[in-house]
Structure formats: C-alpha cells, structure tokens
Amino acid sequence: MSFAEALHRDVQARDAALEQRRCKRNRVLLAAKFVYGDQRQFTPECTIWNLTPCGAAVRFPDGQPLPPAMELVESRSGRAHRAVVIWRRGGFIGLELSNTRELRAAVPGDPVRRLWAVNQLR
C-alpha cells in the first residue's frame, strides 16, 4: 500500500468517526419559511442548506427571534416538518425534524396548508 493510499484510508476512517449524525446529510439549497404561534404566521423566507429525515441546517437572520418549536415549510415541495431548534451559530440554526407531512394532501381546512397555498400564488 502506498503512502497516499494509507493516508486516504486514514482520512476516511477519521471522517467516519467524526460523523455522528443519525441520518445521512444531504446538501441542498431550498427556500422555506417557518410557521409559528397561535395566529399561524410565516417568518420571512429562509434557506435550507442541509436536510435529512431527522434534521436540517437552515440559514436564518442572526438574532431573529424564533420560538423553540414551530413548523418548517419547504416552499416548492409543500412539505411541512415539525421543527425544534437544537443549536444556533451565527446566521444558521440546527433543527430536529419530525412529523413530516405533504401539504398538497393535507385536510383543506389545515391552516398551514392554507397559508402555504396563498404564498404559492404570490
């Protein structure tokens, strides 16, 4: 085995040991909004940078207040995820995601579906 091959193998082993995510991370750039509060209001648009079935890294204005739990709505696909903030670093937030649902198939009276549909028309 050459030195380069051994080094490559060691780097791969180190990266595997450092990777502690429960789900494989997918790098994406998706427009999204948060829905929160009793009035079911949307935040300004944000960008999803990494997405897994378990979580997401989202670019969101630093210092912008967010409740600890809300829904993350992917603008184009119409998927809504229950989201809980687990970390903040600069303009990024890390979210734990659960209860994913398709808004196109949601009950017509669903307030998140209604807000998403209205925003799709703009």
pLDDT tens for residues 25-75?
A: 788 999 998 988 776 777 778 999 999 989 999 998 767 778 878 999 998
Q: Answer whether residue 3 shows pLDDT above 90.
A: no
In a domain, 8, yes or no: no
Higher pLDDT, 101 or 4: 101
Task: Please give the tally of structural domains in the chain.
Answer: 1
Mean pLDDT score across all residues of the chain: 81
Q: 35 in a domain, yes or no?
A: yes
46 within domain boundaries: yes
Is 13 within a domain? no
Domain assignment of residue 3, yes or no: no
State the DSSP H helix or E strand holding residue 114, giving kind and residue range, or none if neither: helix 111-120
Q: Is the pLDDT of residue 112 over 80?
A: yes
Is residue 65 in a domain? yes
Q: What is the pTM (predicted TM-score) of this model? A: 0.74
Q: How far apart are CA 53 and CA 75, in angstroms?
A: 17
- In order, the DSSP letters of 9-64 are HHHHHHHHHH---SS--EEEEEEEEEEETTTTEEPSPEEEEEE-SSEEEEE--TT-
* pLDDT at 18 (0 to 100): 46
Q: Does 105 map to a domain?
A: yes
Percent share of the chain, pLDDT over 70: 80
For residue 6, being part of any structural domain is answered with no
* 100-119: average pLDDT: 84
Residue 47 to residue 29: CA distance in whole angstroms = 6
Output the domain CATH number for residue 29. Answer: 2.40.10.220
CA distance 17 to 55: 20
Closest by CA position to 79, among listed 66, 98, 60: 98
- Domain extent, residue 77, equals 22-120
